[in-house]
Every structure is written in C-alpha cells, then in structure tokens.
Amino acid sequence: MIARAPRGNDSLRAWIVYPERRDKAPVVVVLHEIFGVSTWIRGVTDQLAADGYIAIAPDLLSGLYTLAPGDTILQTQATALIRTVTPGDVQRDIARTAEYAMALPAAQQKFGVVGFCWGGSTSFATAVRAHPKLRGSVVYYGSSPALTALTSITTPVLGLYGGNDARVNATIAAADSAMKALKKSYEPLILAGAGHGFLRQQDGQAGANMTATQTAWPKTLAFFRKTLGR
C-alpha cells in the first residue's frame, strides 16, 4: 500500500507492506536504487513482509516528479533526479520513515535498513547516522563512506558485493580495516563472478548472479533475524 510519512510541510510517499503475524513486528526500511521506488523495489519490500517484517520503502524523490503509469517513476527520470537530492535530506527522510513505521500499532520499536546500489551506499551512511533505534544495515553493492565517518557507527553492517564490480569493491578493503581497528562489526562478502546489481539481474553473468542471490538473500534474512529478531 502507499503511505505518506510526515516530511516537514510536505509528505513522503512510501510503499509499506505488513506481515501476517499475531504479535508486533520489527521494521525494515528498504532503500531504493538510482531507479527510485520501482516495481522491483516494491517486490523486495513485499518479500521482506512475507518474511515477518513491517517493510517500508520510502520514495526519496517524493515531490520531485509526476508518477508514470503503474504508480512508479521512469528510470531515466529517476537517475537524473537522484543527483539533486542531498545526503542530509535523504537521511532525515529515512529517519522520518523509520519513526512513522515504528509508531504503527503493529510495530516494535526497532528497525533495520537494506539498500541497493545508490541505496546500498545510503544504507551504510544510515549506519553512520546512528539512529538510536537502528539495529543494523545491509549494503548491497554500495560504496563505503569516508573512513573518518565510521567512528559514529554503533550497529552491525553486512556488505554484499558482486565480484565483477571493481568501482564499488575498491572501497571495501579500507572500510574493513578501519572497522576492525574501531572494533565495529562489518561483514563484507564478495560473491565471485556476480556483477553490480546482481539481485535485480538474477539471470545475468552466466548464472553467477543467481548463485550470488542464493547466497546473499539468506544472509540478509539471517542478519535481520540476529539484529532485529522476528
């Protein structure tokens, strides 16, 4: 369903899906790629709800475009607009999304984030932001933050990367060393033969993307089971 979270004098569009369960559920905030809240991102959100979470995907481009048929955004439009949003505004919108979802009667007072590509980098940045109710961040093929920013992280980070993604992977080793030195939890996993965006493009890289998906998605669920419960 489409929800609207408070956003100053405006509101933030979000795709929210509820699990079928008798008790209250933890929240997972799903951060979209450079393509915006696409039908694929909605599908990921649906799947997380099926796995027991209140899953919510904020449209971090809210108010900047007119919806295309299918209540979505054109890829070319999203990739142009994503360059116009500021990290500070994005992080404020993520916090508002999490607070909106945790205020729901069916929600527990804790959340995790998972993001893909641009959203993966943003998920790592959300760990840096260190919201007091954040319990963990999952980074799918997103670049790492500046090393000086890692000191503020208080929650675990899981990184899932395609082996054939040199641009993003060039940021992993330094982040891993810095997180170890800071005694913070960062688990990077590079999946051989997979490309950037492997979870979306599961039929790519001669089967390697599907193999990577079959490893990465269970790791994601296990991470949220550990950090959020179920």
pLDDT at residue 5 is higher than 70: no
Domain map (residue ranges) of the chain: 2-228
The burial of 10, by beta-carbon neighbours within 10 Å (0-12 exposed, 13-18 middle, 19 or more buried), is given as exposed
Kindly state the percentage of the chain with pLDDT values over 90.
89
For the residues of 155-182, what is the DSSP string, one character each? Answer: S-EEEEEEEE-HHHHTTHHHHHHHHHHT
Right CATH for 2-228 from 3.40.50.1110, 3.40.50.2020, 3.40.50.1820, 3.40.50.720: 3.40.50.1820
Of the candidates 71, 15, 22, the one whose C-alpha atom is nearest the C-alpha of residue 43 is 15
* CA separation for the pair 92, 129 (Å, rounded): 10
* CA separation for the pair 140, 49 (Å, rounded): 19
Tens digit of each residue's pLDDT (9 = 90 or more) over 69-121 = 877 888 999 999 999 999 999 999 999 999 999 999 999 999 999 999 999 99
Task: Find the largest Cα–Cα distance for the chain.
Answer: 49
Amino acid (1-letter code) at residue 25: A
What is the Rg, in whole angstroms, of the alpha carbon atoms belonging to the chain?
16
Q: Which of 59-73, 134-148, 161-175, 185-199 has the lowest mean pLDDT?
A: 59-73
Reduced to 3 states (helix: H, G, I; strand: E, B; else coil), residue 139 is: strand
Q: What angle do CA 127, 130, 131 make, to 5 degrees?
A: 115
For 51-69, b/e burial (b = at least 16 CB within 10 A) is bbbbbbbbbbbbebeeeee
